Amino acid sequence: MRILAIETSCDETALAIVDGTGGLDNPRFTVVRSALYSQIETHAQYGGVFPAIAKREHALKFVPLLTELLAETASKDEQTAIASEAFNASQVDWHAIEELLAREPDLFAALKTYIETHGKPAVDMIAVTSGPGLEPALWVGINAARALSLLWNIPMLPVNHMEGHIASVLLENTKTTFPLIALLISGGHTEMVHVETWGTYKLIGQTKDDAIGEAYDKVARMLGFPYPGGPKIAALAARARSENLVDESISFPRPMLTTADFDFSLSGLKTAILYKVQSLGELTDELRMVIAREFEDAVTEVLVKKVTRALEAHNAHGLIVGGGVIANAHIRAALTTVAADTGVSLHIPTTALATDNAVMIAMAGYLRAQQETPSIAPKVRAQGNLALTSSQA
């Protein structure tokens, strides 16, 4: 099955063509081609991701990315792989398409030009993220997917973004014994999921307030660094460790460390740091390093404890870690140790597949297609808080 996937849930506009085979028992994937535009520099000017700006950028970049994805300048191999079919654009009901893209008039105009001058790619299904995420941003991908589904007569399926993060590990030859526990940590999510088999999930824990990446970014701002400051905090903490800097007066809480659930809370920790920073007044570089380290140690300690308990409580055989925060070397090393100590297999995607991308949406779409039947331009809604469990038994 060849899948065209579309991801616009946050600040990356991403497209991919992926081949899937093997069904739910033995899913295997090959990336034919992928294209991604990150809005991070646009949002950095504002200090965070604004939904209306994200939506505008998605609408602006969609057709250029589609053109890049299906480019005629692609290598010979890729051209054969994607293989366009002859397509008669004169038979299209442009009225219906214009209505579908009524809120994205510029996208409609660009798409019309594209469709009238290009063939139809030989794909079997379109997969699109329908949630969770920023609803204005999600709508752009959904409307574009429905338009392409209608135009090319290719069936489509909506995909849960979190199933995408779980499926992100499937590009490697993932040998697994179920059940697995998935820890998904990024600027937008902090969730723990019980994976019974591919396609069957249960959310067992999540943050009650901020996501981990969001907490890193907020602490970075308190210390005077621009968005997104997560990597800066990680670098300061690493230096504090290598220089063995300690300051007994800097210690922060480990929120929900001992509660019997698998939930997280980051806002109390963040507030404790804010009060500390305010009481200190002028910050030296050394203080910034010690604060960054103590914050990172607190977050890591809670993650390690909760993940260990989840693995044990659910007799899990493997640990999946996904989301942009896996770029953090300290957290990554700690979770690697957890997996080794509890004797479970560890599955971590490459950074390109850990941050938001369309390859993971294609893989999740393939898993979904083993359980649901795709159809032409179904009425899909953007669901900002879409639960992972909604489409499972």
Chain residues binding ligand KG4 by CB under 6 A are 10, 186-188, 213-214, 216-217, 228, 230-231, 234, 323-325, 327-328, 355-356
Least separation, in Å, of the C-beta of 323 and Zn ion?
Answer: 6
What's phi and psi for 218, nearest 5 deg?
Answer: -70, -40
Give how far Cα 19 sits from Cα of 3, 121, 353, 382, Å. Answer: 6, 13, 16, 26
The closest alpha carbon to 84, from 114, 52, 40, belongs to 114
Instruction: Tell the smallest beta-carbon distance from residue 186 to ligand KG4 (Å).
Output: 3
Number of neighbours of residue 237 by Cβ within 10 angstroms: 27
DSSP E strands in the chain: the ranges are 2-7, 12-21, 28-38, 84-85, 120-121, 125-131, 156-160, 180-185, 190-197, 200-206, 318-322, 345-347
Which residues on neighbouring strands pair with residue 190, listed in sequence order? Answer: 185
Of 2 and 165, nearer to Zn ion (C-beta) is: 165
Kindly tell me which of 121 and 141 has the beta carbon lying closer to ligand KG4: 141
C-alpha pair distances (Å), 268 with each of 213, 255, 302, 369: 15, 7, 13, 41
Closest CB to ligand KG4 among residues 32, 321: 321
Nearer to ligand KG4, 111 or 167 (CB): 167
Min CB(220)–ligand KG4 separation in Å: 7
Residue 139's binding partner out of ligand KG4, Zn ion, none, with CB under 5 to 8 Å set by partner kind: none
Q: Among ligand KG4, Zn ion, none, what does residue 187 contact (CB within 5–8 Å per kind)?
A: ligand KG4
Q: Which is nearer to ligand KG4, 164 or 374 (CB)?
A: 164
CB of 306 to ligand KG4, least distance (A): 17
For Zn ion (CB under 5 A), the number of binding residues is 2
Residue 251: both structure tokens together: 């210690």
| Residue indicated by tokens 């065209």 | 4
Rounded least distance, CB 205 to ligand KG4, Å: 18
Nearer to ligand KG4, 265 or 355 (CB): 355
Provide the minimum distance between the beta carbon of 43 and Zn ion in the complex, in angstroms, as a whole number: 15
Q: Is 289 helix (H, G, I), strand (E, B) or coil?
A: helix
Q: Which residues, 181 to 210, sit near Zn ion by CB under 5 A?
A: 186
User: How many other C-beta atoms can be found within 10 angstroms of the C-beta atom of residue 353?
Assistant: 24
SS3 per-residue string spanning 329-350: HHHHHHHHHHHHHHCCEEECCC
Pick one of 131, 356, 357, 362: the residue that binds Zn ion (CB under 5 A). 356
8 A C-beta contact, residue 387 and residue 203: yes
Give the nearest distance from C-beta 87 to ligand KG4 in angstroms.
Answer: 35
162 touches 184 (CB < 8 A): yes
Question: Residues 6 or more apart from 247 whose CB is under 8 A from it?
Answer: 287, 290
CB closer to Zn ion, 294 vs 356? 356
Give me the phi and psi of 28, to 5 degrees please: -135, 140
Query: Please, which residue, 134 or 145, has the CB nearer to ligand KG4?
Result: 134
Find the shortest distance in angstroms from Cβ 355 to ligand KG4: 3
CB of 24 to Zn ion, least distance (A): 23
Structure tokens that stand for 210 in this block: 């901020």
* Residue with nearest beta carbon to Zn ion: 356
Residue corresponding to tokens 């570089």: 285
Q: Which does 374 bind (CB under 5 to 8 A by kind): ligand KG4, Zn ion, none?
A: none
97 vs 382, beta carbon nearer ligand KG4: 382
163: contact with Zn ion by CB under 5 A: no
Binding site for Zn ion (CB under 5 A): 186, 356
